[in-house]
């Protein structure tokens, strides 16, 4: 999924966290034409506006979502924004009273006297609120009180996603990111209706989750990172905190333990996991393909079973990601033997693997994640299973925007915003039936990424482009219209303090 043609210099200039952002003018108007991802249907009502005032309250059939909205409005407006016990005649109501479409569908109605979000399930209410946030002036996302006013344009939006799986991936193995950094990213991606965060928890350079039955994985294998930077790992309590924080934002956490390759941190932690019984040194470089679990040892499968068992027990979501990529040090026969057996150790979870897993014998429910750069891969196209589309030449957020980008790599190509936006997940891989495309995911590998500011610089504005591919109908796909809507996000990111890349392909508003 991420072949390196050259070792990344550790002397790269990083994008430091920006100075505290000043809010854009609170009166800057948003509109139905500024929402990302673009809704299925948006019908503004001319001359109608709802004003959020000191008397506005919020009622919600899903308390978590109502509280998140009220808290954000309180921070930015300074108004009390109480939680109402019944739907207010003049206020905001989030109702599980049904909406056209499926589980994630919603309908948003704005009149002069009230705002109502209707949905079939809690997820739909949450997504309706994210659209409502984008209809408010950008200053409504400020972490501090702003002067207002707070108009919301009138009309109706009816919306539902194209794909059920809309993901982002964060590699916390090459560089470790603490809980607060992961939660910050969750706040940012959920605004654009991303519903999966895939955490790459282990690799050659670090092991990032405590496993009680194999404690040295975290204490020793997690002690370093690329370039000898500080390591780290999540306690079980911290991991569960991330899972809960994500769930409140309708994001499912998918943990990945990469195997049988990308395992040097584990092999260094326990000599017995090596075929020769000798532990290799910890690794802080960026090469790939040199490590492998010992396929012939029964202890290997005890290890896999116990690690996945502990991880499954604290992961309420339905998936475990077993990696399976770039296993160059594992023979084809051993790879098939290992991956076939490992799939049976997923403790009731559905297995996801990088698309290399089709070279084994995937279980009927196993999902392949396509990371190639080519539009042709017969093995994946003919595997007869669900596929998550993550073509590296379109979705890898660690690729540079241009040759001068101070962070990132180029092995999969140069990816500007237009490159991230102008492709169709349903037709990208030749021969793959559109019905087998489960969705899209935008991975961010972190060989050169050290801070939240670095994450933001590489993810924004490309992640919202990929989010739109996952959510919006293909019939709405229009680069020119997208650039206008994406530009409208700039002032919002400015007040949120997001360290985004000011792509020259986008006409960003002055001051954002």
Apex CA 408: angle with CA 404 and CA 414, to 5°?
65
CB 284 within 8 A of CB 225: yes
Domains annotated on the chain, with CATH:
41-159 (3.30.379.10), 165-475 (3.20.20.80)
Rounded alpha-carbon distances, angstroms, from residue 121 to 117, 160, 195, 338: 11, 12, 14, 40
CB atoms within 10 A of CB 509: 15
Model pLDDT, residue 30: 83
Low-confidence ranges of the chain (pLDDT < 50): 1-27
Q: Structure pTM?
A: 0.95
CB 427 within 8 A of CB 434: yes
Residue of 104, 310, 326, 468 marked catalytic: 326
Model pLDDT, residue 9: 34
Encoding tokens for residue 393? 């030449």
Task: Give the long-range contacts of residues 177-180, CB within 8 A, separation 24 or more.
Answer: 177/446, 177/452, 177/455, 178/232, 179/234, 179/238, 179/241, 179/242
In this structure, what DSSP letter does residue 381 have? H
What would the pLDDT profile of 293-335 be if each residue is shown by its tens digit? 999 999 999 999 999 999 999 999 999 999 999 999 999 999 9
310 classed as catalytic: no
């Amino acid at each position: 999924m991420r072949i390196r043609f050259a070792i990344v210099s550790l002397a790269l200039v990083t994008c430091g966290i920006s100075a505290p952002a000043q809010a854009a003018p609170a009166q800057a108007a948003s509109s139905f034409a500024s929402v990302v991802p673009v809704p299925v249907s948006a019908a503004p009502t001319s001359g109608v506006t709802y004003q959020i005032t000191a008397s506005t309250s919020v009622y919600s059939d899903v308390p978590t979502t109502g509280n998140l909205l009220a808290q954000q409005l309180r921070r930015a407006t300074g108004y009390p924004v109480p939680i109402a016990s019944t739907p207010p005649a003049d206020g905001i109501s989030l109702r599980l009273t049904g909406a056209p479409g499926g589980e994630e569908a919603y309908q948003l109605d704005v009149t002069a006297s009230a705002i109502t979000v209707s949905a079939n399930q809690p997820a739909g209410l949450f997504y309706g609120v994210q659209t409502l946030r984008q209809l408010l002036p950008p200053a409504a996302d400020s972490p501090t009180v702003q002067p207002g006013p707070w108009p919301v344009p009138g009309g109706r939006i009816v919306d539902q996603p194209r794909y059920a799986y809309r993901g982002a991936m964060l590699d916390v193995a090459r560089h470790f990111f603490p809980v607060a950094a992961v939660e910050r990213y969750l706040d940012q991606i959920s605004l654009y209706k991303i519903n999966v965060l895939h955490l790459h928890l282990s690799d050659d350079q670090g092991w990032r989750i405590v496993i009680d039955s194999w404690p040295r994985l975290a204490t020793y294998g997690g002690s370093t990172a690329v370039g000898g930077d500080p390591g780290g790992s999540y306690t079980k309590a911290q991991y569960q905190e991330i899972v809960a924080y994500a769930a409140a934002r309708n994001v499912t956490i998918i943990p990945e333990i990469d195997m049988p390759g990308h395992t040097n941190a584990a092999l260094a932690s326990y000599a017995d996991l090596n075929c020769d019984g000798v532990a290799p040194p910890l690794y802080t470089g960026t090469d790939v393909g040199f490590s492998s679990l010992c396929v012939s040892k029964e202890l290997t499968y005890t290890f896999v079973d116990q690690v996945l068992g502990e991880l499954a027990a604290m992961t309420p979501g339905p998936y475990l990601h077993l990696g399976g990529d770039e296993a160059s040090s594992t023979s084809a026969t051993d790879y098939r033997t290992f991956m076939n057996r490992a799939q049976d150790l997923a403790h009731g979870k559905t297995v996801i693997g990088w698309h290399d897993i089709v070279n084994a014998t995937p279980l009927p429910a196993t999902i392949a994640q396509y990371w190639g750069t080519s539009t042709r891969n017969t093995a994946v196209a003919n595997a007869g299973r669900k596929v998550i589309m993550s073509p590296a030449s379109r979705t890898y957020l660690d690729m540079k925007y241009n040759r001068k980008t101070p962070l990132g790599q180029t092995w999969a190509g140069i990816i500007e915003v237009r490159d991230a936006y102008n492709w169709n997940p349903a037709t990208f891989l030749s021969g793959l039936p559109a019905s087998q495309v489960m969705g899209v995911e935008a991975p961010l590998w972190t060989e050169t990424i050290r801070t939240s500011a670095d994450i933001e610089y590489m993810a924004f504005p490309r992640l919202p482009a990929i989010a739109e591919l996952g959510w919006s109908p293909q019939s709405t796909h229009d680069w020119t219209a997208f650039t206008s809507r994406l530009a409208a996000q700039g002032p919002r990111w400015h007040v949120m303090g997001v360290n985004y890349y000011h792509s020259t392909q986008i006409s960003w508003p002055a001051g954002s």
